[in-house]
Structure 1
């Protein structure tokens, strides 16, 4: 899968030298099929703050007629490598294996290493664009799956994939069941977005299925993470190893029947490494254990669990922790505020771990922070001193970790040699 990695790295270096975006096109060597792992080698490396342009592909293997739809050659090549044929059917497997033998169904472009990123840092992902590049998408129902897969009415519904034409000029879709009614791709109040964005999980986690969202990000399926949004992901391995894919032309909260309107997309992402001592980043580091995000208007926390009650509780507690550090307002007062102006929604109920996200308006949070900072003057000064002290402490921790990494076994030898 990685035979072309050197070529990709060379092309990325040329792009960086010319001041252009780093571009990664999807090939068997620059994608990973169905999983997330720290063992996947990076296909290119970029500097912190660089923009990477990722082209992604999507299609249900064996379900898209090549003589009817314009299937990108890149997707056919990836299907050939993973499934055994250009159309994604599995002529050498009987019966066919789920996901062509991969741990999950999604094709992800990457991973991209970000120079200088280390465990304990945060990768700041600014979504600059998310654009369609094929004139079709697809939606599938899988037998026994989805929000109603266990109900009497839908348990025996046969698996079926439906190909849906897309009008790229009008930004509409016309599903064959809609009786000719066009569905605008911004019908849910947002627009196309990447269902999957994430970093490599901790090495101890092994290979994770792309179906499950988690602390590494992955199958977030959050329609609010389109262009203009910023995603924060805790770094688990050197380089962070960012990937994206699973383009969604349109999706409502819930994603009930298993998939959205899936399609191939390309997007631009600015990848920036935040260290614990980075200016202005103290709040987002506070108690972070999974994805956080912001849009121009809201702060967003996300949580995932098989039980929606567990997920909503985790999303709310994470927001209280983050906003307390950001604003200085007490957690109990933020709890009351969330009840007044916070918006919680069920992101999806079909990815094994159900997703919940909570949105808090920046206009109110920032105003409360300003008011708290101006209370008597001394609070603002004290908070600034404490934030600076915390940043220094975390920076020292990083430097000690660096020293120990470089030193390793040499320290004991030096202590013995000089009788220290």
Structure 2
């Protein structure tokens, strides 16, 4: 089904009108936003941010607003690539709303796909055609393991990339998350609701440590979220145990080994009345945001690295700022893996995976204008209103460190110890460069004032985050 962009479609006018209405509604909401219209962007820049406003390479006049919908033509499934053609270009300081679609919508097509032209175009899969053929960084012919094009070596649906004019290697792109909203279910049977899936899967930390039979097993739990904003929690609707699924091409998937396989609910047993009286606080965020790496042409979307990617930190939501080192011209920014809620560690393998729409401001900082901790920044740095969050990985740049077979070896060599060591080193450097502490001062402060947490243990390149509160430095000017 077209998304209002295929004139050959019999219902082109209907789809086109819906697309225009949706875009217009989003633009009106954006323009009315108190954050933007009320000078919130200026307040943001003055709130203790690491990047000095003078370093921002913005064009004169008002910033431009852009909209990037998600459909089969605007997404890339399961990989980052410096070879991708940008979906649009923008100037530093511009705003952009980007739709992000979950790669787990196939777990319940009725609730998460049906009736939504953009998602239907992405998930289109018949015996004759796939809306998005390549799913992963593997071979395009899909003969290596017989799973399908891309082999599922990378799973996330990423919208983009977006080209930032003037961005070159060595620069920093600052990404401000202005707003995050759930994508409403388009099936009229579920008005006012959004849905997501949590898969306790074979790559989860728990998988080989189960108590009850059958062992092993994979279980998907479907959650419901209210889109009106009146409820800030999710509730479980039902769960089901994965049984072998046959995709439209006739390939049998005994486990969850290829993204977007539509689950046949006539052969699974739905268990309702689960997690009764449990409300899960929602904190919408993006599991994957990042730029294109330089080391390889096609890079698996699962392991995070210096360019960002699949960090899976629930703090990357509305009001947060990410700083990314630029590796290729234009940066090539992409967004995906949207979540309604997740705990630190993402222990069972996934969060509540659901589709979201985010509004961002992208700001370019040129290399020769950088100072403090941003000078030479070679990892994704997260800033919130109250905290700085540094991300350590088992291998800070696994593509470079592990060589030609890095995209296979990373899954075998990660450890929490290595990730903690990296987080420690990054925090030490941060405190010494941005706050002017000696090494001895930094080490003492880390032990008594920095919280180290497990970001995730399921993404190949395991992660530890280090959090330091800004109010520790109430008497010190920021760098």
Asked whether the two chains share a fold, i.e. TM above 0.5, the reply is: yes
Change (3 A) 1:129 1:311: same
Q: Quick one: distance in 2 between partners of 1:347 and 1:68? A: 27
CA distance in 2 between partners of 1:313 and 1:368 (Å)? 27
Structure 2 matches for 1:8-407, cutoff 5 A? Answer: 21-60=65-104, 62-66=106-110, 70=114, 72-80=116-124, 84=129, 97=147, 101-134=151-184, 135-143=194-202, 145-151=203-209, 153=211, 156-169=215-228, 170-175=231-236, 176=238, 178-186=274-282, 191-202=283-294, 204-278=295-369, 281-305=370-394, 306-365=414-473, 367-368=475-476
Q: TM-score of the superposition, structure 2-length normalised? A: 0.67
| Pairwise CA distance, 1:99 | 8.4
Q: CA deviation at 1:243?
A: 0.7
Counterpart Cα distance in 2 of 1:46 and 1:357: 31
Verify the 8 A CA contact 1:185 1:192 in the aligned structure 2. no
Residues 177-196 of structure 1, C-alpha deviation per residue, up to 9 Å, x if partnerless?
6443242434xxxx110111
Structure with the larger helix share: 1
Query: How far, CA to CA, are the matches of 2:454 and 2:357 in structure 1?
Result: 26
Q: Which 10-residue stretch deviates more, 320-329 or 242-251? A: 320-329
State the alpha-carbon separation in 1 of the partners of residues 74 and 319 from structure 2. Answer: 26
Q: How many residues align?
A: 352
Query: Is the CA contact 1:33–1:102 (under 8 Å) kept in the aligned structure 2?
Result: no
How far apart are the structure 1 equivalents of 2:112 and 2:468?
Answer: 46
Contact 2:113 2:119 in 1 (8 A): no
Q: Give yes or no for contact 1:59–1:138 (8 Å, CA) kept in 2.
A: no
**Secondary structure of the equivalent of 1:335?**
helix
Q: Secondary structure at the match of 2:302?
A: coil
Structure with larger Rg: 1
- What is the Cα-based RMSD across aligned positions, in Å? 3.4
The offset of 1:242, in angstroms, is 0.4
Equivalent residue of 1:120, what SS? coil
Contact in 1 for aligned 2:288/2:336 (Cα 8 Å): yes
Query: Structure 2 vs 1, CA of residues 82 and 215 (structure 1 numbering), >3 Å: closer, same or farther?
Result: farther
Shift of 1:81: 6.7
Q: How far 1:139 moved relative to its partner? A: 1.0
After superposition, the Cα gap between the structure-2 partners of 1:250 and 1:67, relative to the gap in structure 1 and judged at 3 Å, is closer
| CA distance in structure 2 between the aligned counterparts of 1:68 and 1:80, rounded to whole angstroms | 13
Whole-Å separation in 1 of the counterparts to 2:70 and 2:204: 29
Write the distance in 2 (CA, Å) between the matches of 1:241 and 1:113.
5
TM-score by length of 1: 0.76
| Alpha-carbon shift at residue 161 of structure 1 (Å) | 2.7
- The 8 Å contact of residues 62 and 87 in structure 1, kept in 2 or not, is answered as no
Shift of residue 276, structure 1, vs aligned partner: 2.3
**Contact 1:329 1:368 (8 Å CA) reproduced:** no
Structure 1 residues 62 and 226, CA gap change in structure 2 (3 angstroms): closer
Listed as ranges, the gaps of 5+ residues in structure 2 are 6-22, 28-58, 136-140, 185-193, 239-272, 395-413
CA shift in 2, pair 1:82/1:333, >3 Å: farther
Deviates more, 1:42-51 or 1:173-182: 173-182
Q: CA deviation at 1:85?
A: 5.3
Separation in structure 2 between the aligned mates of residue 276 and residue 242 of structure 1, nearest angstrom: 18
Structure 1 position 328, deviation (Å): 1.2
Change (3 A) 1:366 1:45: farther
Residues 327, 65 of structure 1: alpha-carbon distance in 2 compared, 3 angstrom cutoff: closer
Deviation at 1:56, TM superposition (A): 1.0
| 1:166 Cα offset (Å) | 1.6
CA distance in 1, matches of 2:62, 2:118: 26
Q: Name the CA shift for 1:365/1:111 in 2 (closer, same or farther; >3 Å).
A: same
Distance 1:185 1:325 in 2: 37
Aligned equivalents of 1:82, 1:231: Cα separation in 2: 39
Aligned mates of 2:475, 2:274 — CA distance in 1 = 45
| Distance in 1, Cα, partners of 2:126 & 2:163 | 24
